Amino acid sequence: MKKTLTMLTIAALLPAGAALADDDDCSVPRTQWQPREAALQVAQDNGWTVRNFEVDDGCFEIKGRDADGREIEVKLDPATMQVVEMEYEDDDDDDDDYGTAVGNPAPAGTVAPPQNGLFGTGTPPKVKVN
Amino acid sequence: MKSLLSTLVLTTALTMPGLAMARQVTLTTNLTSYGGDGAYLALYVTDASDTYVGTLWMAGGKSKYYNHLTGWYRATGGDTAQVNGITGASVGAGRSLEITLDLADALFDAGYTLHIDASVEDMRDSPNEVSVPLTSGGRGTLVKGRRYIADFSYDM
């Protein structure tokens, strides 16, 4: 019964994923958390292969592949096992930037540094990683 | 000796503003071997009243992760125009990021503070890991970080 409920909840939530995307943290007290096995059960029910399981921003986070073999990252509410966020890792247009990959800043050297009063000249910074 | 030098630098800067408007500053950030993906780092400056002034460098190119640099994000609202032209790759664990840039002289000994927010995928966010006043006398001083940054120093 619980399983059916969980499945139903997920089915209901998946299309609404985009609307929930900006609220991808969980804030349920630990005392109300279900065991990680519950999350792994959700994964199994959905046909996901789990590569990595951890707690992130208070949510259960599963990384792995979906039934079609696409790389996924899914956040679950640790109490209700509802999907809080689902991302395809091969998709840059994920929910976090609301469907636009546009918005990444221009790399150094392609445009002048911003005129924020900090830079003495328009010379681009030189960077070395050792 | 150092203070004499600083005084000299200061007085020179004051008496000859036309000649000393900018100086080349090297910012060195050494990361710890925290055992994770490359770190996103935001190096930014606040003034004496703790108000955001601007960003000096953003290590990490994808803006969708910038909300994990919480101090920077709160100050800028995630505005990528703040880091156009001063963005590069994220920095791997155990590596050292060395940025050389021309900074306005007015930034030093005037109450400005440099902050570094750090973030690593799947690991805890670490805003304001380093917070160091920009002074002529502070050059070369190692400032320790907390989580991902072993130490930071600036030199000119």
| Contact list, A114 vs chain B (CB under 8 Å) | 54-55, 81-86
For chain A, list residues whose CB is within 8 angstroms of any CB belonging to chain B: 54, 56, 61, 94, 96-97, 103-114, 116-121, 123-130
pTM: predicted TM-score of the whole model, two decimal places:
0.61
DSSP state at residue A3: H
Residues in chain A with CB shorter than 8 Å from the CB of B22 are 119-121
Give the Cα separation of B65 and B63 in Å (integer): 5
Name the CATH architecture for the domain at A2-19+27-94. Roll (3.10)
The answer, yes or no, to whether residue A84 has pLDDT greater than 80, is: yes
Q: How many residues does chain A have?
A: 130
Q: In angstroms, rounded to a whole number, what is the distance separating the alpha carbons of residues A114 and A74? A: 36
Strand partners, B131: B115
pLDDT at A96: 47
Q: What is the structure's pLDDT at A99? A: 39
Contacts of B98 in chain A (CB under 8 A): 127-130
Cα B57 → chain centroid: 7
Average pLDDT over residues A68-78: 89
Strand (E) positions, A57-92?
A: 59-65, 71-76, 83-88
Three-state DSSP at A13 gives: helix
Phi-psi region of B66 (alpha: psi -120 to 50; beta: other; left: phi over 0): alpha
pLDDT above 50 (res A19)? no
* Adjacency order of strands within the sheet including A49-56: A49-56, A59-65, A71-76, A83-88
Residue B30 in tokens: 């050494």
Contacts with B120 (C-beta within 8 Å, 6 or more apart), sequence order? B34, B36, B37, B38, B39, B40, B148
Looking at residue A68, its pLDDT comes to 82
* Partners of residue A94 in chain B, C-beta under 8 Å: 64
Domain boundaries, chain A: 2-19+27-94
* Parts of chain B with a pLDDT under 50: 11-19
Using CB atoms, pick whichever of B80, B91, B106 lies closest to residue A105: B80
- State ipTM: 0.74
Q: Rounded to whole angstroms, how far apart are CA atoms A124 and A109?
A: 6
Beta-carbon separation of B85 and A111 below 8 A: yes
pLDDT tens digits along B43-71: 999 999 999 999 999 999 999 999 999 99
Sign of CA dihedral B65, B67, B69, B72: positive
